Each structure stands twice: as C-alpha cells, then as structure tokens.
C-alpha cells in the first residue's frame, strides 16, 4: 500500500476506534497515528492468531485496523488517561 493509502486507512480506523472507545475524536493527528499503529498491531495480532492481516485498502483491512486501533486506544487511555487533580 502507498503512504497515502496508509494515511487514509489510519485516519478512518483511528476515527472509528476513538468513537468506539471514548465517543469523541482525539484530534486528527492523534487519530492518524493511533490508526496506523493500530493497523500494524491489528495485522500482527491477526497474523499471530492465524487469520489474514491487512491486505490492502478494503473492508476487511479496515476491520483489522479498527480492532488494532481500539486495542491501542484502550492501552493509550489506560496509560495516559485523565488523572484527577487533588489539592
């Protein structure tokens, strides 16, 4: 896949994943980064489990990328989530 296809796939997957996880977008840049990382994580996870990883710009690859992006977002919010401020 070309760089442009990865960016578009990452943006869409990151946006969908952030709507699933926290119901608001995390910002375009963070959505793209988490979506691309999520596509790689999802591809690795699916390949490890014996399924087909990301194959191109299609619905199945979008599903794999969204699953990976949701996983990355859950970990991201667990590590960098909002912390209560105490005085």
pLDDT in tens, 23-48: 665 666 776 777 778 878 888 888 88
The Cα 9–Cα 62 span in angstroms is 7
Task: Give the pLDDT of residue 11.
Answer: 80
Considering the entire predicted model, what is its pTM? Answer: 0.77
State the CB neighbour count (10 A cutoff) for residue 87.
Answer: 2
- Is residue 64 in a domain? yes
Residue 70: inside a domain, yes or no?
A: yes
Of 79, 81, 71, 78, the closest CA to residue 14 belongs to 71
Instruction: Indicate whether 11 belongs to any domain.
Output: yes
DSSP structure class, residue 56: S
Which structural domain range is residue 64 located in? 3-80
86 occurs within a structural domain: no
**Number of domains present in the structure of the chain:** 1
- Residue-wise pLDDT tens digits, 47-86: 888 887 777 778 888 888 888 888 988 888 788 766 545 5
87 part of a folded domain? no
């Amino acid at each position: 896949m070309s760089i442009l296809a990865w960016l578009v796939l990452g943006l869409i997957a990151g946006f969908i994943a952030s709507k699933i996880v926290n119901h608001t977008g995390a910002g375009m840049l963070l959505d793209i980064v988490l979506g691309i990382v999520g596509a790689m994580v999802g591809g690795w996870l699916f390949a490890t489990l014996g399924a087909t990883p990301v194959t191109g710009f299609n619905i199945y690859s979008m599903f794999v990328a969204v699953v990976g992006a949701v996983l990355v977002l859950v970990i991201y919010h667990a590590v960098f989530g909002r912390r209560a401020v105490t005085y």
